[in-house]
């Protein structure tokens, strides 16, 4: 527990325990600890009521006090502290209509999604494992807590969360859990698409996205959400650290850019996918021209080249050759052109208009293709001798 977040959680727990409250580390941090993996977040659950938590620490933020969560800022890292609770019905199949604060850790753990996430760790190092979560970790199984159908009926996002854990950990879905997912998969259509997209973002940077696609296709888990999953075998060797690569590859495999709109991707994501796909299409057909190399940044060519390699397509050019050809271009950016629109208007004694963009575009193309030297005097002579004749 050398990580700062772990130490801060330890300090929070010690304070709570000194005042007579039970306190444990819960959720993904415990799972990752048992897998000997670094945890992104270390959360504490406690028998203390929210106002009791606030009274014990100097610096707190009410990040979700209605659901029992207080952010404690007293130590090196901020720690979320949540009161043990039970949950009522889930009308929207995502969040409970009401929560009830309780003093029982056992009651709190039984509301959790999967056994591997339903373990708790005391400050002493004692593991509280009421649902065989450690055993399922060892057997590499994703199993719902309690009655699977109830878990997915009350919170349908758990379906794709389960698939995401399969992709991240390389595990398999336990049979009863999988059957319940199938029976409740239509409820995914009731979940805000932004929440579903957030799960795909994590799947696209996971260790085994092909497993996620396999379950979505073979067991019809994706029937209520956008996208096709038939090409899951083509994800076999896919690996990326940027989710935008995953969105690009999915759009390529399905030939469907509307996925970006359906999943409400950001403008940055849409721009990346469209440009990377354009590079992919170019590489699929021919060796890029100088102007095509100029048009797109290397990050798009890199993505396109790697995704093309997954398709076992013969490359028209090696990536190092592509990089060298791009680096050898006379200019790398439009801003490097030696003249501006003001130059052109002065030289021609004309006002701005559509002609200006047309001329500037032609200058850029000629410079990139080596047909026109990039200096002010040469461009001026070309303009006077060839454009306005």
Structure confidence by residue, pLDDT tens digits, 156-214: 999 999 999 999 999 999 999 999 999 999 999 999 999 999 999 999 999 999 999 99
- Token pair of 164 as six digits: 């995401």
Verify that 311 and 248 share a domain, yes or no. Answer: yes
The rounded mean pLDDT for the chain is 94
The verdict on residue 230 lying in a domain is no
CA 276 to chain CA mean position, Å? 17
The verdict on residue 235 lying in a domain is no
Reduced to 3 states (helix: H, G, I; strand: E, B; else coil), residue 140 is coil
The verdict on residue 233 lying in a domain is no
Verify that 325 and 345 share a domain, yes or no. Answer: no
pLDDT in the model for residue 98: 82
Verify that 27 and 148 share a domain, yes or no. Answer: no
Query: What gap in Å lies between CA 121 and CA 129, rounded to an integer?
Result: 9
pLDDT at 389 over 70: no
Domain of 112: which CATH number? 3.30.460.10
| Number of domains within the chain | 4
Query: What gap in Å lies between CA 383 and CA 360, rounded to an integer?
Result: 10
Verify that 356 and 324 share a domain, yes or no. Answer: no
b/e sequence 64-93, b meaning 16+ C-beta within 10 Å: ebebbbbbbeebebbbbbbbbbebeebeeb
The verdict on residue 118 lying in a domain is yes
CA 6 to chain CA mean position, Å? 25
Query: What gap in Å lies between CA 244 and CA 42, rounded to an integer?
Result: 27
Verify that 360 and 300 share a domain, yes or no. Answer: no
The verdict on residue 196 lying in a domain is yes
Best CA proximity match to 308, nearest among 292, 325, 285: 285
Query: What gap in Å lies between CA 112 and CA 43, rounded to an integer?
Result: 14
- Tell me how many degrees the CA angle 388-293-334 measures, rounded to the nearest 5: 50
pLDDT at 302 over 90: yes
The dihedral built from the CA positions of residue 214, 216, 218 and 219, taken in this order, carries a sign that is: positive
Sorting pLDDT into bands at 50, 70 and 90, what band is 315? confident
Verify that 144 and 96 share a domain, yes or no. Answer: no
pLDDT at 40 over 90: no
Verify that 301 and 209 share a domain, yes or no. Answer: no
Verify that 165 and 220 share a domain, yes or no. Answer: yes
Q: What is the pLDDT of residues 93-143, one digit of tens each?
A: 667 778 899 999 999 999 999 999 999 999 999 999 999 999 999 999 999
Verify that 54 and 87 share a domain, yes or no. Answer: yes
Its domain, for residue 154, covers 140-224
Q: How many residues does the chain have?
A: 389
Domain of 377: which CATH number? 1.10.246.80
Verify that 364 and 248 share a domain, yes or no. Answer: no
pLDDT in the model for residue 230: 85
- Token pair of 336 as six digits: 């490097």
The CB density around residue 369, as the number of other CB atoms within 10 Å, is 14
Q: Are residues 91 and 54 in contact, defined by beta-carbon separation less than 8 angstroms?
A: no
Q: Which of 139, 169, 198 is the last residue of a domain?
A: 139
Query: What gap in Å lies between CA 30 and CA 101, rounded to an integer?
Result: 22
Alpha helices in 185-314 (DSSP H): 193-203, 209-218, 243-254, 258-262, 267-285, 290-295, 298-310
Sorting pLDDT into bands at 50, 70 and 90, what band is 1? very low
% residues pLDDT > 70 (the chain): 98
Q: Which of 196, 224, 252 is the last residue of a domain?
A: 224
Q: Which of 192, 224, 256 is the last residue of a domain?
A: 224
The verdict on residue 301 lying in a domain is yes
Q: Are residues 188 and 196 in contact, defined by beta-carbon separation less than 8 angstroms?
A: yes
pLDDT at 241 over 80: yes
pLDDT in the model for residue 156: 94
Rg (CA), the chain: 28
The verdict on residue 232 lying in a domain is no
The verdict on residue 135 lying in a domain is yes
Best CA proximity match to 85, nearest among 66, 104, 70: 104
Q: What is the pLDDT of residues 51-98, one digit of tens each?
A: 999 999 999 999 999 999 999 999 999 999 999 999 877 776 667 778
Mean pLDDT for 298-304 is 97
Verify that 280 and 245 share a domain, yes or no. Answer: yes
Verify that 17 and 67 share a domain, yes or no. Answer: yes
């Amino acid at each position: 527990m050398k990580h700062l977040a772990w130490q801060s959680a330890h300090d929070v727990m010690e304070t709570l325990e000194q005042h007579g409250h039970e306190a444990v580390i819960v959720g993904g941090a415990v799972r990752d600890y048992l897998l000997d993996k670094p945890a992104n977040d270390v959360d504490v659950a406690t028998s203390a009521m929210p106002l009791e938590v606030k009274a014990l620490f100097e610096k707190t933020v009410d990040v979700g006090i209605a659901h029992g969560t207080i952010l404690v800022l007293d130590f090196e890292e901020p720690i979320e502290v949540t009161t043990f609770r039970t949950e009522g019905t889930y009308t929207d199949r995502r969040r409970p209509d009401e929560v009830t604060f309780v003093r029982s850790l056992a009651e709190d753990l039984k509301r959790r999604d999967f056994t591997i996430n339903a373990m708790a760790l005391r400050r002493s190092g004692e593991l509280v494992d009421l649902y065989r979560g450690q055993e399922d970790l060892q057997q590499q199984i994703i199993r719902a807590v309690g009655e699977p159908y109830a878990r997915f009926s009350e919170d349908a996002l758990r379906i794709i969360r389960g698939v995401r854990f399969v992709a991240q950990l390389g595990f398999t879905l336990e049979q009863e859990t999988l059957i319940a997912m199938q029976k409740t998969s239509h409820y995914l259509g009731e979940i805000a698409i932004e929440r579903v997209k957030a799960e795909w973002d994590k799947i696209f940077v996971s260790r085994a996205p092909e497993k996620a696609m396999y379950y979505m296709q073979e067991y019809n888990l994706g029937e209520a959400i956008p996208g096709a999953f038939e090409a899951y075998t083509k994800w076999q060797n896919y690996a990326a650290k940027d989710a935008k690569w995953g969105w690009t590859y999915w759009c390529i495999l399905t030939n469907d850019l509307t996925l970006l709109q359906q999943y409400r991707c950001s403008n940055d994501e849409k721009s990346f996918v469209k440009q990377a796909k354009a590079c992919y299409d170019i590489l699929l057909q021919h060796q890029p021209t100088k102007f095509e190399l100029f048009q797109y940044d290397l990050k798009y060519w890199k993505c396109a080249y790697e995704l093309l390699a997954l398709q076992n397509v013969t490359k028209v050019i090696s990536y190092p050759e592509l990089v060298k050809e791009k680096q050898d271009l006379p200019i790398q950016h439009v801003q490097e052109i030696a003249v501006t629109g003001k130059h052109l208007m002065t030289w021609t004694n004309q006002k701005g208009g559509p002609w200006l963009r047309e001329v500037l575009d032609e200058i850029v193309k000629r410079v990139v293709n080596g047909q026109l030297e990039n200096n002010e005097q040469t461009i001026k002579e070309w303009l006077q001798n060839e454009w306005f004749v």
